[in-house]
Every structure is written in structure tokens, then in C-alpha cells.
Structure 1
Amino acid sequence: MTLHDDSPLAPSPLPPSHATSDGETIIKLFQTLGRTTIWKSIANISFHGDTFEPEGLVRLGPDRYVVSCGEYTEHTQKYPHPINGTDRTPGKGFAHLMTYNGKGERIADATITREGEEEYHNGGIDYDGRWIWGTVAQYRPNSTAYVYKADPYSLRPQTVLRYTDHLGGIVHDTTKNRLTTLNWGSRNATVWTLKDGVAADCSTERPQSTTRNPSYFVDYQDCKWLGRSKFYSGASVMLCSGVTALDGGYSLGGIALVHTETMQPLAEVPIMLKSALGVRMTQNPMDVSVENGRLRFYWLPDQRNSTLYIYEAEPNSPFEYGGG
């Protein structure tokens, strides 16, 4: 780990998770969003230094942000045809966890993989009030990955379980002590039941269930667990942000409330915002808060030279005009 100053990596005490604080309010406010929602820019905060490819974002209050990212030293190359179930070379790189303050100044950069390891792609991250949960995978589909949890005060990861597929997004249901992990393109969701915070055998653990994602609206990149929602009759709900590439090179962005165990979308909203560099705002990292009764989103879409874009949803009716 490289420390850029002697500031603590996380506030003390740690802030509560969404599930134990504002999760239900986020769910209710999400119902007011739609295609006509007006997004008000609150702040653009430049993050210092090379951010590589940011993948996940956790906001630990207004003055601490943790970012998961991947540094790629050798890019993957597509095979002319699939080999051993995957479509490209493994490439090379490193997974990082970085901590920033509210001014965008880097406090710490922890490299959490070793040189030569094929698993170096750091996916989306979630925060449960005590641990940051993440995944490190090969940077290709149909490969291998592992789940880790990291202490916000040290950024030191502990391997929780391993799996024979790519894993990206992750959320932790603290009520039933379950993890939901998403594979390449979030096409499948695997649900895992933990005991004492770890899998019984992290080398051979099998998921409790695997569910196909029925929605092709966007591929979820980063998700946050909001709790078991009264609004949705006790369903386990996560908020996800993502993009999908359409024919002609068009990138569609969106946010969604999703049932963590069935992958049924509960509410979906397209996001048309772009960064100053022309990248769809929902490209990768995302977190959310409620400020003065309004939803506030935090997005970090750009690679290498990243700006944290903070937007607030203006109150409005979700009614949409359509053809008829």
C-alpha cells in the first residue's frame, strides 16, 4: 500500500450501511424517477492521480470514497474462436483499492493482487456497515474469480470464496447473511449463504442458487444493497447502475432496483448524462445518498483521469408521454 498522507483511511465510527439507514427512503424516492427527470449537477470533483479503470465506488460519508479499479499492463486479445470456454487471452494487470477524501485527494492506494496472477479484474463493491465486499476475476468471461471482504481502515482483503466463472458486481444481504454476485455482463446472479462471514470451504463452495437475469436493459456494473424492503413486501433489493452497447456504437446508460435473488427488475430508469470526456455517466462506479429529501447520485465513469460527478434528481412526476 502507498499512503499519500497520514489521514485515517475511514471515519470513526464507520457510517451505517444503506440497509440500516436510508435504503427504504432511496427505494421510495426511486419511484419518482423517470425519463423526464431533471438531473441537477451538484459538484464535479477531480480525483488526483491515475485511477486506471474504476469499477466500484463506496461513499463512507462526505469525506471518504473507496474506489475499486483495475490496472491493465497487457490487454486481452480476442481468439479467432473460443478456447476452453472463453473468447480471449488472459491479459495481465493488478487490482487496486484506493481511498480519496472529499476534495478528490488520494489518501491511499492498495494493490491487492500480485504480479502474474490471472485474476486481477476488480469488480463493483458494496459496503455493509463493517466491510467492503468485492470480487477479483480474470478479465474475460467463463473464467474464474474470488470474493473478498476488506476492512475500510486497512483496505486489506480477505478471500471469502472462489468460483469457476467471472464475477463482477456484488452485494451483501446482512439480514440473511447472503451474497449476490453477478457474472460477465450481469447475465447470471449467484446467491451464496455465509457462515460467520466466510464460506465453509472457499476453494470448493457452491452457490445456493444461480438465476438468469431476465432484463437486457443494461448490464449492471456496480450495485448497492438497500435492504429487505417494506415497499416491495420484504424483497431483498439492490440498486444497480450500468450500461449496454447497442448497434451503431450507441451506449445506453441506466439505473435499476433489482430483486437480489430472482434478478427481477423492480424499477428501471435510463440515464442519458455523459461525462466531460463523453463517457456515459453510469459506465461503472456508483453510490447514492439522500440529501434534504432528494436522491443524490455519485458517478465516476472515466478511466485514468477520473472526475466524481455528483447529481441530484429534481422532484417531478414520473409520468411519461408516449405515442398512441
Structure 2
Amino acid sequence: MTGLLLVLSCLSVAAAPDQFDGAIEHARLLGTIDLKGELFHVQGLELDSRRIWVTSVDQNLRKGYIHEFDRRTGKFLRRLELTDGARYHPGGISLSGRSIWVPVAELRPNSSAMLVEVDADSLAIRRKIPVADHLGCVAASGRHLVAGNWNSELLYIFDLGEDAPARIVPNPSPTRYQDMKFVDGQLVAGGSLTLWSGAVDWIDWPSMKTKRTLRAGASGPVRPFGRGGPYTGEGMAIEGRDLYVVPEDGPSRLFHFRLEDRDESRPA
């Protein structure tokens, strides 16, 4: 059976249209950092000047975690379990101020999730917001949250300053977002297109229109036969022109790319 799946996978890859064979379009790899600690199936990435945070899910034990590492050395520092009953799947994460926002969901579509606010310094949980859908990623900026559901087919827009239901808009891109961030007044979101390809999109805020797309190839053998996959298929973070991704399950590496110096608002 495994042999048949491998053959089918190879045929699918060969037939893929517009396959991108590089790492990330218009980006240069500067280096990697080994993350020296136990990680499971990687989901989200965030960082500041001193630390790296990664979410992962242990699917065998049905437990979800946020892990903290030293940014300079990759040394493991600590982790917090995020499991909440049937909700054990943490997704893409976002740092806003001194809060890290993490969606923790049931591992099935059309289910339920908690948007969890975690203190970045103590890893204490500040609050939880229930949502009646699976949420797999979130971007945070002040009072606004944008979260993607299963495969990010829909984007939920929350205003934490108002007691009102979320606004729901369709994903303006075919990319199945895994991680998204607010960057300089825009959303930057990365995810998979297929098992072997992904993309990073720049989305205008608040119009939610795609402004630019960079294609991404795969790192190593694609899942489920290896621990690699699309470079943008799991955790992604961005600082200016510096793009960081964690495309591998544990043992994992943080890949550091430098984007070309060009007008990021220009459509690809």
C-alpha cells in the first residue's frame, strides 16, 4: 500500500502545473538554526529579539504545545501545554505587544476552537475566546485579530474593542494559510498550495485584497513520507525583509531568508 501511495504521489508531483523548484521566490537563504528540543508536528512560528516560539501538536497523544527557544543558540527554554479537552491542535501564532495569540482547535473542520492569549514573558494564559469553527492560524495587531479556519477558506475578523460577532470574509487567495502576521499595516500570510508547493501572500488591510504573492518549493521529502514539505507550509514569521520559516517536524530548523529589496505592494 505504501508503495502505491508513493507512486501516486510521484505522479501527482509530475503532473503539477507551474511547479516552483526553488525555496522561496525572490528570497535568498542566509542560514538555519537547529531548534534543540522536542518538537512534534510544527504549526506556528513567532519571534522577538531574544526568543523563538513554535507551536506543535503531538497527534499520537492528542496534546498541543507552545515551545520557547533562545533565538541566538536555538536552545530549548520551556513549553506550555495548550490542550483544552477535544481542542488540542494549536495553529499559526502572532505576537502583539507582550501577548502571543494562539488558536487551539479540534482536529476536524466545522468544529470549535479557542483563541488563547498567552503572556509572552511568563507563558501564563491571559484569556480565551471561544469560536464555533476550527481555526488554524491568527494574526494580531492591537484590538484586531484575523483568523483562518480549516484550510483558511474563510477569514474571521475580530475587533476586541467591540462586543460584536466576527466579520467573515472569503480567503482572497488559493493559499491554505498556516501562519499569518500583521506587517506594516498589511497582512502577510504563508501556507501550502499542494503537498510540494506553497506561497507567501501580502494582503491589503482592511480591504482584504491580495497585493503580492511569492511562490515556494519544498524542503526535503514531502509528507506523509518525510518530515519536510513546502517551505511555507508550517510556521512563518517576518521582520522587515527577513523571512523565517520552520518547514520541518521535529527535529526542526529555523530557516532565515532575505527578501529582495523591491516594492512589496506591487502585484507579482
Could you state the TM-score of these two structures normalised by the residue count of structure 1? 0.67
**1:191 and 1:315, CA in 2 relative to 1: closer, same or farther beyond 3 A?**
closer
SS of 1:113's partner is coil
Determine the C-alpha separation between the residues in 2 that align with 1:103 and 1:282.
Answer: 23
CA distance in 2, matches of 1:36, 1:73: 31
Separation of aligned partners in 1, 2:120 and 2:220: 28
- Are 2:253 and 1:266 equivalent residues in the alignment? no
SS, match of residue 191 in structure 1: strand
Cα pair 1:212 1:263 within 8 Å, conserved: no
The total of aligned residue pairs comes to 236
Query: Are 1:95 and 2:69 counterparts?
Result: no
Aligned-pair distance for 1:227? 4.2
1:36-55 equivalences under 5 Å are 37-55=25-43
Q: Which has the larger radius of gyration?
A: 1
The 8 Å contact of residues 24 and 214 in structure 2, kept in 1 or not, is answered as no
Cα distance, 1:309 vs. partner? 0.9
Partner of 2:51: 64
Aligned equivalents of 2:156 and 2:127: distance in 1? 17
Relative distance call for 1:275 and 1:310 in structure 2 (3 A) is: farther
Distance 2:204 2:131 in 1: 22
**Is it true that 1:297 corresponds to 2:256 in the alignment?**
no
RMSD of Structure 2 on Structure 1 (CA): 2.4
Shift in Å, 1:206: 2.9
CA contact (8 A) 1:180 1:261 kept: no
| Larger RCO of the pair (alpha carbons < 8 Å, separation 6+) | 1
* Greater share of residues in strand: 2
CA distance in 2, matches of 1:137, 1:278: 23
1 CA distance for matches of 2:263 and 2:89?
40
Change (3 A) 1:259 1:105: same
CA distance in 1, matches of 2:247, 2:141: 26
- Corresponding position: 1:73 with 2:39: no
- Distance verdict in 2 for CA 1:260–1:159, change over 3 Å: farther
Aligned to 1:191: 157
Which stretches in structure 1 are left out of the alignment for 5+ residues? 1-34, 75-92, 229-236, 319-324
SS of 1:103 mapped into structure 2: coil
Equivalence for 2:147: 181
- Return the offset for 1:213: 1.4
Contact 1:169–1:223, Cα closer than 8 Å, also in 2: yes
| Structure 2: runs of 5 or more not aligned | 1-22, 222-226
2:109 equivalent among 122, 126, 141:
141
Give the structure 2 partner of residue 119 of structure 1.
Answer: 87
d(CA) in 2 for partners of 1:36, 1:125 = 21
Amino acid paired to 2:165: R
CA distance in structure 2 between the partners assigned to 1:259 and 1:70 by the alignment: 31
Q: Distance in 2 between matches of 1:263 and 1:316?
A: 21
Q: 2:107, 2:254 → 1: CA distance?
A: 24
Task: Give the aligned partner of residue 135 of structure 2.
Answer: 167
Quick check: 2:196–2:217 contact (8 Å CA) kept in 1?
Answer: no
Amino acid at match of 2:181: K
1:308 aligns with 2:254: yes
What does 1:244-283 align with in structure 2 at a 5 Å threshold?
244-245=193-194, 250-272=195-217, 274-275=219-220, 278-283=228-233
Cα separation, partners in 2 of 1:40 and 1:122, compared to 1, 3 Å: same
Query: Where has structure 1 moved over 3 Å in runs of 4 or more?
Result: 35-39, 259-263, 275-278, 314-318
